[in-house]
Amino acid sequence: MSKQKTLADEFKIQFVKPKNWECTDGHVVEHKPYKKYLRTDIKDIFESKGIIDPYLRQREIVAQVYPFKINQHIIDLIDWDHYHFDPLFQLTFPQPDMLLPDELIKIEQMLDDNCSREQIADAISDLRSDKNPAPANQASNRPIILEEDHSYECEGLQHKYTKTCLMFHRNAQTCHAYCTYCFRFNQFVGKDKFLEQDTVNLHKYLKQHKEISDILITGGDPGTMKSDVFKEILEPLTEPDFKHIKNVRMGTKALTYHPYRFLTDPDADSLLECFENFISHGKHVSIMAHFSHFNEITRPTIEAVKRLRKVGCNIRTQAPIMRYINDNPLVWSTMWEKQVQYGMIPYYMFVARDTGPQCYFEVPLAKALYIFSEARKKMSGLSHTARGPSMSSGPGKVCVLGKERVAGEDVFVMKFLQGRLDSWCDRVFFAKYDEKATWLDQLQPAFGEKEFFFETEYRDYLATKKNMVAQCQS
């Protein structure tokens, strides 16, 4: 009994009460407690807004295939008078056409036939498996730690590009809300997980690979992690053994989905102190912030950006171009200009990955290139830092630079911004112009070539990696 009381007292001492954030102009950002809503809450959300949604049943079915989670902050930003067309509604709420008609009909029929929960769950699992849940050969990015007695593959690390290592911490396996287009949807239902239980393998692997300069902490969303987890990751990296580590990136949508994480959450001060301490040791922290639309740039978001920059963090912004959300040059130019205004750096316009509900959100490469080019024309040079439209494909980050006519043939001019092999980086190549193509594997080499220059080497790389993993497991 006394031990229980001691633990309770200790918790009371450690607990920090959330507080409001006072801005320099006197405006007060009131703390908004994080409250999540899941699939079973969709009906109640509509009813709370006085809406009878004609597609409620279809949305609930889609939300069984692609996980749904939202919070009060996002709900409050949606224009519920015109919710069908609201970009943040499209960004977060399941849409009926995210499934093909026959897929939707199949699950509806099973429900009407009173099939068992197990039968429906199996059908939904099969649907997910058909949606390319781990695109771009992500599993082949898992590195191998070499030790004298045995070697093993790291489940929660990825090392695709020479200078950068990704970490998927077990405490970053969720998000404050789920994007409808998320390509890591299978992780949220416990399949195809990339997960590290702690920081042991990360630090061990980094010691073995001095060529690595950057760590990207990703998930899910590491913005959901507590400050003590960040300390476990970052503090050892200030020691001499890790002098080769220069930059730590945090891939997050917390700035838009829950900006209070950096302002008023109980451990917000501790998190900012952790970043500031790490930076004071000559390291760099870059917040890789996901912004899908300028409607997400709210006062709490702006204040969170200011606070992060004050301790020395840079904020680089990125998002995929998605139909119904941001497939308009004015959306991108407005968003990028606002980001620059508040000290953020536009970084990437991505293309919808070949996974999940791509059929609903995809934008043809030709249209994406037009939107990117037209958006740039509307902005000053300060906003021209973004690269795109870029595909995070298996071979690497491939950008569509433009459309040209070369040797009597209309072509896409393509460029590797990053390559699985270093020698591919910055290589320019040509693909036949195709107005309908939405991904790299739908393009054909120009000028009568049978393959793109990288394809043979890429196949060899994958075969070699597969053999290495097999040897580790034997």
Q: What is the pLDDT of residue 337?
A: 98
Alpha helices in 94-215 (DSSP H): 101-112, 117-129, 200-208
Please provide the size of the chain in residues: 474
CA angle 170, 171, 173 (to 5 degrees): 70
* Global pTM value: 0.93
What per-residue string of b and e applies to 87-100 under the rule 16 or more CB within 10 Å gives b? bbbbbbbbbbebbe
DSSP secondary-structure letter at 83?
G
Question: Which residues neighbour 106 within 8 Å (Cβ) at sequence distance 6 or greater?
Answer: 123
Q: What is the pLDDT of residue 139?
A: 82
Question: Is 31:61 a contact under the CB 8 Å cutoff?
Answer: no
Q: What is the pLDDT of residue 328?
A: 98
* pLDDT tens, N- to C-terminus, the chain (474 residues): 444 555 545 444 466 788 899 999 999 999 999 999 999 999 999 999 999 999 999 999 999 999 999 999 999 999 999 999 999 999 999 999 999 999 999 999 999 999 999 999 999 999 999 998 878 788 889 999 888 778 888 989 999 999 999 999 999 999 999 999 998 887 777 676 788 889 999 999 999 999 999 999 999 999 999 999 999 999 999 999 999 999 999 999 999 999 999 999 999 999 999 999 999 999 999 999 999 999 999 999 999 999 999 999 999 999 999 999 999 999 999 999 999 999 999 999 999 998 889 999 999 999 999 999 999 999 999 999 999 999 999 999 999 999 999 999 999 999 999 999 999 999 999 999 999 999 999 999 999 999 999 999 999 999 998 898 888 877
Distance of CA 228 to the CA centre of its chain: 23
Task: Give the separation between CA 394 and CA 388, rounded to whole angstroms.
Answer: 17
Q: What is the pLDDT of residue 192?
A: 67
Q: What is the pLDDT of residue 279?
A: 98
Task: Give the separation between CA 77 and CA 45, rounded to whole angstroms.
Answer: 13
* Beta bridge partner(s), residue 430: 413
DSSP secondary-structure letter at 441?
G
CA atoms lying within 13 Å on the CB side of residue 75 = 19
Reduced 3-state DSSP string for 263-298:
CCCCCHHHHHHHHHHHHHCCCEEEEEEECCCHHHCC
Closest CA to 303 of 259, 273, 252: 259
Task: Give the separation between CA 464 and CA 458, rounded to whole angstroms.
Answer: 10
Cα–Cα separations (whole angstroms), residue 423 to 70, 161, 212, 365, 396: 42, 11, 17, 25, 12
Task: Give the separation between CA 249 and CA 167, rounded to whole angstroms.
Answer: 10
Q: Is 45 exposed, middle or buried (0-12, 13-18, 19+ CB in 10 A)?
A: middle
Q: What is the pLDDT of residue 285?
A: 98
Q: What is the pLDDT of residue 13?
A: 47
